[in-house]
A = this chain, B = another copy of it.
Amino acid sequence: MKNITNPTISDWAKICKRPVFPAEDLEDKVKNILELVQQKGDTALKELSLKFDKAVVEELKVSEAEIEASKKQVSEELKVAISVAAKNIRSFHEAQQLTETIVETMPGIQCWRKSVAIENVGLYIPGGSAPLFSTVLMLGIPALIAGCKQIVLCTPPDKDGNIKPAVLYTANFLGITQIFKVGGAQAIAALAYGTETVPKVDKIFGPGNQFVTKAKELVQKNGIAIDLPAGPSEVLVIADSTADADFVASDLLSQAEHGPDSQVVLLSDSSEFVEKVKLAVDEQLRVLPRADIAAKALENSFSVIFNSIGECVEFSNRYAPEHLILAIENAQEFADKIQNAGSVFIGNYSCESAGDYASGSNHTLPTNGYARSYSGVSLDSFVKKITFQNISRLGLQNIGRTVEVMAGAEQLLAHRNAVSIRLKKIQDEK
């Protein structure tokens, strides 16, 4: 974790650049997978699972019996935790259901918007060593609140063709029953194009490796919406000398353990404090099972010392972090100045992992600087807002001339005629 002191503003852009890990031929490889699935459907999915996951999959769809069995494989303690987290996530996302009122823009002209659920959504839950059941909660709960008719979950099987029990348990706990044993780019292809077994969806959600991310990018060209462009996870902590170095170190490490491509950034107005944090990081790192991964992530990471917390906030707005922790005095005051961030954690006890799992906020967030223009996943991600308008005769009389003049000026005379023909008939009927 290298240190930078008081960089000039002209260097900020360079410092904010995320590390890049280019993958060779990624796009071609993923295009091949997408084509294969379009051509051969389920057969391709099974072949690719064997090739990439070394998994023999007999039935793509998870059976009732497997779901039933998962209930016995998950500890009571974890069941309670899942239900507490689900309750908080539900409360927060239900509060995002806002009804806009009808706006009468002129007498006789009523305009309004209505949120309507996206009918078919696909949730991708990555596999790997850990069962990411928390992502099932983060994507499944808003999809259910929105009222999506069909929720399709894909997740890669292990070598024995099984799905992690915690993932199955959580899906079933929420009421999601269409679960398919397929991962990687082939899962995204299945959701985008549909196969004999996996239903085609309108929008695909969820994190994943480079293959998954590239596949999500590519299927957009076929009209499939995606939640967010993805990049490696990251945290930026702003801490002053009132913060607790152990806490800050633990937050940096909880981000660093995500993957070797993660980036963690510490900003402070105190070089002494930064030194304390680095000592604490070294100490805590030693006992972590994922120490190797975290140590690699720390190599891409850095701290910056500025003259004031105000400057730290300015730099953070430029960096646009996925997660931002404000471990400073008057944290709320500085929180009001945040322009670009995915999710902000205020004060010494708001650790990122609380938000990652259970406090209620969503953990699917914009990384890689996308927080400048993208929001994290929310209820909004599972609906579209349709505009409606109802114009009465009076309304058309009030607005008719305006439309005629504007359409005429844009030389769109059929547009003008659609108004004129109506105004004339209203006139004739008098």
List chain A positions with a Cβ less than 8 A from chain B: 77-78, 80-82, 84-85, 87-88, 91-92, 95-96, 98, 100-101, 103, 105-106, 109, 111, 113, 116, 118-119, 129-134, 166, 202-203, 217, 220-221, 223-225, 229, 244, 246-247, 250-251, 253-254, 256-258, 284, 288-290, 294, 332, 335, 338-362, 366, 368-376, 378, 380, 383-393, 395-396, 399, 401-403, 405-407, 409-419, 421-422, 425
Contact A257:B412 (CB < 8 A) given known A103-B95, A387-B344, A405-B77: yes
Given the complex, which residues of B lie within 8 Å of A412, measured CB to CB?
Answer: 130, 254, 257-258, 290, 353
Q: Of the candidates B96, B129, B290, B335, which one forms a contact with A388 in the assembled complex, judged by CB atoms under 8 Å apart?
A: B335
Find out whether the CB atom of B82 lies under 8 angstroms from the CB atom of A351: no
**In the complex, A345→B255 CA distance in Å?**
49
**In the complex, A247→B393 CA distance in Å?**
13
Find out whether the CB atom of A109 lies under 8 angstroms from the CB atom of B340: no
Find out whether the CB atom of B346 lies under 8 angstroms from the CB atom of A414: no
Find out whether the CB atom of A396 lies under 8 angstroms from the CB atom of B223: no
> Which of A257, A356, A372, A386 is packed against the most chain B CB atoms within 10 Å?
A386
> Which of A132, A338, A341, A407 is packed against the most chain B CB atoms within 10 Å?
A407
Find out whether the CB atom of B393 lies under 8 angstroms from the CB atom of A357: no
Copies in the complex: 2
Find out whether the CB atom of B81 lies under 8 angstroms from the CB atom of A105: no
Contact A103:B109 (CB < 8 A) given known A344-B388, A347-B390: no
Given the complex, which residues of B lie within 8 Å of A358, measured CB to CB?
Answer: 399, 402-403, 406
Q: Which residue of B lies closest to A407 (CB)?
A: B353
Contact A223:B95 (CB < 8 A) given known A81-B402, A391-B347, A422-B351: no
Find out whether the CB atom of A223 lies under 8 angstroms from the CB atom of B349: no
Q: Of the candidates B132, B355, B385, B406, which one forms a contact with A357 in the assembled complex, judged by CB atoms under 8 Å apart?
A: B406
Find out whether the CB atom of A421 lies under 8 angstroms from the CB atom of B247: yes
Q: Of the candidates B87, B344, B396, which one forms a contact with A349 in the assembled complex, judged by CB atoms under 8 Å apart?
A: B396
Find out whether the CB atom of B81 lies under 8 angstroms from the CB atom of A406: yes
Find out whether the CB atom of B418 lies under 8 angstroms from the CB atom of A251: yes
Find out whether the CB atom of A357 lies under 8 angstroms from the CB atom of B403: yes
Find out whether the CB atom of B250 lies under 8 angstroms from the CB atom of A414: yes
A251 to chain B minimum Cβ distance, whole angstroms, is 5
Find out whether the CB atom of B371 lies under 8 angstroms from the CB atom of A384: yes
**In the complex, A244→B96 CA distance in Å?**
41
Given the complex, which residues of B lie within 8 Å of A223, measured CB to CB?
Answer: 229, 368-370
A147 to chain B minimum Cβ distance, whole angstroms, is 11
Given the complex, which residues of B lie within 8 Å of A417, measured CB to CB?
Answer: 250, 253-254, 284, 288
Given the complex, which residues of B lie within 8 Å of A393, measured CB to CB?
Answer: 349
Find out whether the CB atom of B133 lies under 8 angstroms from the CB atom of A105: no
Q: Of the candidates B101, B359, B386, B411, which one forms a contact with A289 in the assembled complex, judged by CB atoms under 8 Å apart?
A: B411
Given the complex, which residues of B lie within 8 Å of A403, measured CB to CB?
Answer: 81, 353-354, 356-358
A104 to chain B minimum Cβ distance, whole angstroms, is 8
Q: Which residue of B lies closest to A108 (CB)?
A: B349
